[in-house]
């Protein structure tokens, strides 16, 4: 089954969700996470913004790892996402494609109120090759 057949029913928001969920850990749109929700130890939260052809949209996400003092896992996950975006990365949609590239700066370590939480903040650019 081709990538087009797997994802050809996706709209723009679903395509963003598909991208962030393609790295082996769960990803949640930040605005849909209830206050105090338990998302597990290792996950991604992202924001979702859409536009149309020829306008690249900056978007951000965070990789979270709870109950650890080590940066290793979040750093590896950020590296994995970076590697994926070092090549052309497109997600087929109902009409057109979601085209994702690295933003600037791409990855930034963030402090958290909880000292046992490790978080890396990511910037990407998303272009909707679609009407």
Partner 1 sequence: MFTIVSEDAFDELQLDAGVLLSTFDITNPYTEPSSADIIATTTGGINPVCAPTYEDLAEDVDNVPNNMMEFKKLSGWDCSMSFSSIKFNAENIRWSLGAADTTNGTGYKKVVPRRDLAQTDFADVWWVGDKANGGAVAIKLINALSTGGLNIQTTKNGKGTNAVTLTGHVSIEHQSTMPMEFYDIDPQSNNG
**CA 20 to CA 40: how far, in whole Å?**
16
Contacts of 127 (CB under 8 A, 6+ apart): 53, 54, 55, 56, 57, 98, 99, 100, 101
**Binding characters for partner 1, 87-126, by CB under 8 A (x = yes):** xx-x-x--xxx-x---------------------------
**CA 97 to CA 112: how far, in whole Å?**
35
As measured in angstroms, the least distance from the Cβ of 33 to partner 1 is: 31
Instruction: Return the residues of window 41-80 that contact partner 1 according to CB under 8 A.
Output: 53
Contact residues toward partner 1 (CB under 8 A) are 2-4, 53, 87-88, 90, 92, 95-97, 99, 129-131
């Amino acid at each position: 089954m081709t990538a087009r057949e797997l994802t050809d029913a996706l709209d723009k928001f679903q395509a963003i969700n598909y991208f962030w969920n393609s790295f082996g850990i769960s990803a949640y749109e930040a605005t849909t996470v209830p206050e105090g929700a338990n998302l597990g130890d290792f996950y991604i939260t992202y924001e979702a913004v859409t536009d149309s052809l020829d306008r690249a949209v900056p978007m951000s996400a965070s990789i979270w790892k709870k109950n650890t003092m080590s940066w290793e896992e979040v750093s590896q996950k950020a590296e994995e996402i970076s590697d994926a975006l070092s090549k052309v990365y497109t997600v087929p949609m109902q009409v057109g494609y979601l085209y994702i590239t690295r933003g600037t700066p791409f990855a930034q370590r963030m402090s958290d109120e909880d000292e046992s939480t490790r978080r890396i903040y990511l910037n990407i650019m998303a272009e909707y090759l679609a009407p």
